[in-house]
């Protein structure tokens, strides 16, 4: 292999990568804000006794779980403007596509945590005279929300990584800037390695934190 590594070619041009990282973090944080809040509401709909609420919610979840994220993003960017005649900023479109995807996955995390609260705890709540709303607020949700935090964080960091997919529809995120820089400098190995290290530097601490949280839960229980 007669390829000489020249990291300097990339490190001298880090500006676009930092800009890309800023967009990537913006996509991630905004998508998580949507996923954490709307995911909770969606979980409540999925658990509803009323089929009229439950079935559409389940359909939404299954649609996003059973199709590739890249198809969802491409569909969102090309079909939504044509179908509904709305033209949004690409970053906003990216946030919505990633946010809706995360909403479906987080809804599943919330649903599983809510259903994992032991039935006997509700019986004990009835025996203590708590009303249905008091049982939900004081017994079910505090336990369920705690249990769902590690999964929400794992999903959230998954969205951070998945956000790289929006590069293919022209959002100037970290991956997009990396691709551009690699083409301009003819240094794909250096560029994409550094881009990968960016993703690693943020994902790794979070995944370690999740692991620590889960071990701690295991000890406490």
Partner 1 sequence: MTAAADTSALLRINDLHKGYGPNIRVLRGLDIEMKPGERVVVIGPSGGGKSTLLRVVMGLEQIQQGTVTFAGRPYISTDGRRTAIDPAVRRQIGMVFQHYTLFPHLSIMENLILAPRKVNGEARGAARDRGTKILERFGLAEKADAFPSQLSGGQKQRVAIARALMLDPKLMLFDEVTSALDPELVAEVEAVILQLAAQGMPMMMVTHDMWFARNVASRVIFCAGGVVVEDGPPEQVLGNPREARTREFIERVFHIKA
Four-residue CA torsion sign, 116, 118, 123, 128: negative
- The CB-of-41 to partner 1 minimum distance in angstroms stands at 22
Give me the 134-153 binding string for partner 1, x by CB under 8 A, dash otherwise: x---xx--xx--x-------
Helix, strand, or coil here: 17?
helix
Q: Say if residue 214 is exposed, middle or buried (CB neighbours under 10 Å; 0-12, 13-18, 19+).
A: middle
CB of 138 or CB of 203, closer to partner 1? 138
The only residue of 59, 126, 197, 201 in contact with partner 1, by rule CB under 8 A: 126
Closer to partner 1 by Cβ: residue 117 or 157: 117
- Residue 89 or 221: the one with the smaller Cβ distance to partner 1 is 221
CA–CA gap between residue 108 and residue 208 (Å, rounded): 22
Please tell me whether residue 49 binds partner 1 under the rule CB under 8 A: no
Q: Is 128 in the site for partner 1 (CB under 8 A)?
A: yes
- Residues 6+ away with beta carbon under 8 Å from 188: 182
Structure tokens at 212: 């620590």
Interface contacts to partner 1, rule CB under 8 A: 118, 120-121, 123-124, 126-131, 134, 138-139, 142-143, 146, 220-221
């Amino acid at each position: 292999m007669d390829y000489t590594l020249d990291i300097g070619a990339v490190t001298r041009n880090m500006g676009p990568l930092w800009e890309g990282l800023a967009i990537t973090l913006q996509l991630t944080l905004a998508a998580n804000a949507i996923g954490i809040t709307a995911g909770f509401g969606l979980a409540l709909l999925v658990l509803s006794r009323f089929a009229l609420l439950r079935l559409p919610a389940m359909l939404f979840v299954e649609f996003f779980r059973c199709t590739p994220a890249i198809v969802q993003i491409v569909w969102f960017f090309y079909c939504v403007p044509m179908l509904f005649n709305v033209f949004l900023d690409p970053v906003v479109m990216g946030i919505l596509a990633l946010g809706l995807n995360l909403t479906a996955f987080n809804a599943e995390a919330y649903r599983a945590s809510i259903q994992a609260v032991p039935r006997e705890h509700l019986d004990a709540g009835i025996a203590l005279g708590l009303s249905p709303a008091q049982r939900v607020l004081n017994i079910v949700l505090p336990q369920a929300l705690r249990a769902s935090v590690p999964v929400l964080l794992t999903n959230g960091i998954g969205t951070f990584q998945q956000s790289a997919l929006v590069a293919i529809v022209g959002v100037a995120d970290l991956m997009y800037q990396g691709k551009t820089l690699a083409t301009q400098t003819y240094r794909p190995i250096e560029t994409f390695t550094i881009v990968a290290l960016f993703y690693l530097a943020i994902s790794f601490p979070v995944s370690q934190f999740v692991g620590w949280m889960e071990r701690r839960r295991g000890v406490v229980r």
